[in-house]
Structure 1
Amino acid sequence: MARRIIVDIFIPCFVDQLYPETGMNMVKVLEKVGCEVHYNPNQTCCGQPAFNAGFFDEAREVAGKFLDDFSNETSQYIVAPSASCVGMVRNAYQDIFVKSSSLVKYRSMQKKVYELTEFLTDVLGVTDIPGAALHGRYTYHDSCSGLRECGIKEGPRALLGNVEGLELVEMEDNETCCGFGGTFAVKFEAISTAMAEQKVENALATGADFIVSTDTSCLMHLEAYIQKQKKPIKTMHIADVLASGW
C-alpha cells in the first residue's frame, strides 16, 4: 500500500481573517488528491509585514515561532495558499537565521515549504483535479512573489487548463505588479491605485469573467478597485477555482 502523504498547512493572515473559504478549499483539494492534512492551531504570521517594514527583531521573533510551529517530523511537507508567504519563508528567512543557532533547523524545514500549485504540479505531479468545473473565461495574474521569488509560471495554468468549462485569455503585461506590495499600497496610495487600474483594465480588455492568481493579497487589492469602480469582472484564488464544481 502506498504511503499516505502528510501535509501541514499554513494559513496566511489574509486568508485567515478575510478569505477563510480559500483555506478550506485548499484542504478540500489536497484531500482530493490523497493527502492527509494537518493543521496546527497555534500558528500565526510568517513575519513578512514586520520584515518588509524594517522591523527585523520583531520579524525574527515571529519567524522563530513559525519555525517552532512547523518543526513536526511526521509531516513531509508544509503547504500554503500564498506564494508571498512561501517566498518569505523560503528566501527571507535565510537572512533572518543566517547568524542564528536555528539555522540548521531552518534549513531542514526550508526544503519542505511549498505554495499550493507548485506542490500539486512539482511534487505530486498532479495537473488535473477530478471534478473541477467552472464555466467562463479567465485571465491569470502572475504575482511578483509567485513568479520572481518562487519561480511559479506554468503550473497554475496547467491546473486551470484542466478545469472543465474554463478558458484562458492572457492579458497584456500579465507579469507586471498589481500595485499592492503590502505597505507599499499604504505609503504610496496613488501609485498603487494606478497600478491596480492598469492591471484591471488589461484584464477587462480580454473579455475575461475572472482574474485568477495564487495570492489573496493581490486579489484583495484588485477586488477593492473593481468594487469601487464597479467593473464587470471578478477575482478568484486558484484554490477556489480548483475546488469548484464538486
Structure 2
Amino acid sequence: MPTTALFVTCVNDVAFPSTGIATVRVLERLGVAVDFPEAQTCCGQMQYNTGYPAEAKPLAEKFARDFRGYDAIVVPSGSCGAFVRDIHPRLLGSSAPPPVYELTEYLLDILETADVGAYFPHRVAYHPTCHSARLLKLGDRPARLLSRVEGLELVELPGAEECCGFGGTFSVKNPDVSAAMGADKVAHAVESGAEYLVAADNSCLMHIGGTARRSAAPVRTLHLAEVLASTKDAPYEAVAQ
C-alpha cells in the first residue's frame, strides 16, 4: 500500500471540513492509512489564475516541501488537483508532476475499487465540473463509483457539460453572467428530479448551492466524498451533524 497523504485544500478546510473528514473515512474504510501534513496551505491557484504567478510560486514550493516523500497525495477537488498536477511543474521548472490524485482517480486507478461500501438512498445527479472534466479528464469515474452505492438512483443531468458559472475569480469579475449560468445549472438539476446534485469540487457546489437556496429550489448540493462516506451504520445525515 503506498504512503498516502490528504491535501484537503483551503476551501474545504475553511468552509467544508466535512468533505475532508469524509475523504479520510472512505480511505480508512478501505484500509488506507492517511497522513495529514499540518503545515499544508493554499496551492496557489487563486494567485496564479488572477495573474500573479510570482506570488503563486512560493506556495508551490511549500506544497512540494510539505508533501515530499509521499507515494500518493489524495485531494477531494478536481480544481486544485488539476492545478497542482499541471501548473506546479511549470512554476517549479520540473517535468515531473507531483503524485496527486483526485479522489475518484485514487479509488479506481490506484486502489482499483469501485464499491466502497457506501449507502445513500437518494436520487442523485452528477455535475462534471470544468477542471475535473476538461483538465483531469475524470470521464466516467464518478459515475462508476456512484452506480455502486447501495440505494442510490443516478439520474441524468441536462446540460451536464455546461459550466456552472463559478470559475473562481470569474464569478467576481462577471457576477451577472456567473449568476445566470448558476441559475441555469440549478434549473437543470431541478429538471432532472434529483434530490442531490453531486460534484467533485466544493467551490462549484458552493456557487450552485447558494443559487439553489436563494431560489428555494428543491435540490441540495453535496460533495461526492460525502456520498461515498455514507453507510447504513453512519448515514450522511448523521455524518453531517
Common fold: TM-score over 0.5: yes
Sequence identity percentage? 41
Query: Matches of 2:84 and 2:30 in 1, distance apart?
Result: 25
Query: Matches of 2:89 and 2:5 in 1, distance apart?
Result: 21
SS at structure 2 position matched to 1:78: strand
Does 1:34 pair with 2:34? no
Q: How does 1:122-141 map to 2 (within 5 A)?
A: 122-130=109-117, 132-141=118-127
Partner of residue 159, structure 2:
173
Query: Matches of 2:3 and 2:153 in 1, distance apart?
Result: 33
TM superposition shift of 1:111 = 4.7
TM superposition shift of 1:61 = 1.1
SS at structure 1 position matched to 2:207: helix
Amino acid at match of 1:26: T
Amino acid at match of 2:26: V
Does 1:118 pair with 2:118? no
Answer whether contact 2:84 2:98 (CA < 8 A) is retained: no
Does 1:19 pair with 2:16? yes
Does 1:185 pair with 2:150? no
Q: How many residues align?
A: 232
Amino acid at match of 2:151: G
Q: Give TM-score, length-normalised by structure 1.
A: 0.92
Amino acid at match of 2:143: R
Query: Matches of 2:171 and 2:50 in 1, distance apart?
Result: 12
SS at structure 1 position matched to 2:128: coil
TM superposition shift of 1:94 = 2.9
Amino acid at match of 1:40: P
Query: Matches of 2:81 and 2:18 in 1, distance apart?
Result: 19
Give the aligned CA root-mean-square deviation in angstroms. Answer: 1.1
Q: Tell me, which stretches of 5 or more residues in structure 2 are unaligned?
A: 235-241
Moved over 3 A (4+): none
TM superposition shift of 1:136 = 1.4
Q: Give TM-score, length-normalised by structure 2.
A: 0.94
Amino acid at match of 1:83: G
Partner of residue 132, structure 2:
146
Answer whether contact 1:133 1:166 (CA < 8 A) is retained: yes
Query: Matches of 2:53 and 2:99 in 1, distance apart?
Result: 24
TM superposition shift of 1:9 = 0.7
Query: Matches of 1:194 and 1:92 in 2, distance apart?
Result: 30
Does 1:56 pair with 2:42? no
Query: Matches of 2:111 and 2:198 in 1, distance apart?
Result: 22
Answer whether contact 1:5 1:34 (CA < 8 A) is retained: no
